[in-house]
Amino acid sequence: MRSMWLMPCLLAWVGCGGAPPRECPLPTAEDERAAFLERLEAMRAAGSRVELPEVDADAARALAPPTASLRVRVSDHGVGLVEGLGMLSWSPERLDEELRSADPMRLGWLLSHDVEDVVSLDADRRIPASARQGGAQGFLVPALLEALSSRIHVRGAPPELGLAIAPRTPFGTVAEVVYTAGQAGVERLEIVVRVDEAERAYPIVLPGFDATELLEAPLAELETPRFELYLALTAAGAVLAGSEGRLAPDCRSLADDDAPTLPGPLDLTALGACLGRVKADFPEEDTITITADSEVPFEAVARAAVAAAGSAQGLFPRTLLSAGVR
Last residue of a domain, one of 155, 190, 205: 205
User: Of 205, 238, 265, which one is at a domain's C-terminal end?
Assistant: 205
pLDDT exceeds cutoff 60 at 13: no
Same domain as 190, residue 80: yes
Instruction: Answer yes or no: do 317 and 195 share one domain.
Output: no
**Residue 130 sits in the same domain as residue 86:** yes
Judge if 193 and 248 occupy the same domain. no
**Claim to verify: residue 136 and residue 190 sit in the same structural domain:** yes
* 297 and 257 within one domain: yes
Same domain, 258 and 185: no
- Residues 24-81: pLDDT tens digits? 666 676 776 777 677 666 655 555 446 899 998 888 888 888 888 888 999 999 999 8
Range of the structural domain that residue 132 is part of: 70-205
The answer on 96 and 217 residing in a single domain is no
CATH number of the structural domain spanning residue 225: 3.30.420
State pLDDT tens for residues 142-193.
Answer: 999 999 998 887 655 668 899 999 999 999 999 999 999 999 999 889 999 9
How many domains in the chain? 2
Lowest mean pLDDT across 127-141, 171-185, 216-230: 216-230
Residues in the chain: 326
- pLDDT tens digit string along 284-298? 999 999 999 999 999
Residue 8 falls within a domain, yes or no? no
CA gap 189, 160 in Å, rounded? 6
- pLDDT above 60: residue 220: no
pLDDT of 238 strictly over 50: yes
Residues 191 and 106 in one domain: yes
**Structural domain includes residue 54:** no
95 lies in some domain: yes
Is 42 inside any structural domain? no
Domain limit, last residue, from 183, 205, 227: 205
Domain match, 241 and 302 both: yes
Indicate the pLDDT class of residue 8, thresholds 50, 70 and 90.
very low
- pLDDT (0 to 100) of residue 209: 39
Q: How confident is the model at residue 275 (pLDDT cuts 50, 70, 90)?
A: very high
